[in-house]
Amino acid sequence: MAKSKGKVEVVRITGARSSLTEDVRGRQRRYMIAMAVRTLCVILAVVLWKESRIVAIIALVGGIFIPYLAVVVANAGRENSPSMPDTFIGHQPQPMLEPGAAAPAPTPTAAPPVS
């Protein structure tokens, strides 16, 4: 592992998902950022109402629809499990034996006479 600026670089070697705590933290962070953008849109709409109604209305529409999108994204569920590292994908071992020649079909023989 390489160290850079006091942090240890972690190499993922498994296809396991991240922990539930990390997943919830990431979804909460995305939701809070969306709500901050929504708040800015509403404040912008109020400030620009007398200056430029078109921009104020666009900001107000953004302030109306951003909460819906933020909730949908936050409740989208857990991430897909990551794939295995590239070093393992596509590695096909060589076959141990070469394919053999086809065996000749057996010739039919007459049944022995019954006595």
Beta strand extents in the chain (DSSP E only)? 3-4, 7-8
Q: What is the pTM of this model?
A: 0.53
Tokens of 51: 């200056």
Q: How many Cβ atoms from other residues are within 10 Å of residue 49's Cβ?
A: 14
Q: What is the pLDDT of residue 38?
A: 92
Tokens of 41: 């849109």
Higher pLDDT, 52 or 93: 52
Helical residues (DSSP H) of 48-110, grouped into ranges: 53-74
At 33-64, the pLDDT tens digits run 999 999 999 999 999 999 999 999 999 999 99
Euclidean distance between CA atoms 67 and 53, whole angstroms: 22
Q: What is the pLDDT of residue 1?
A: 47
Domain boundaries of the chain, sorted by first residue? 38-76
Closest CA to 18 of 72, 82, 68, 65: 82
Q: Are 38 and 69 in contact (CB under 8 A)?
A: no
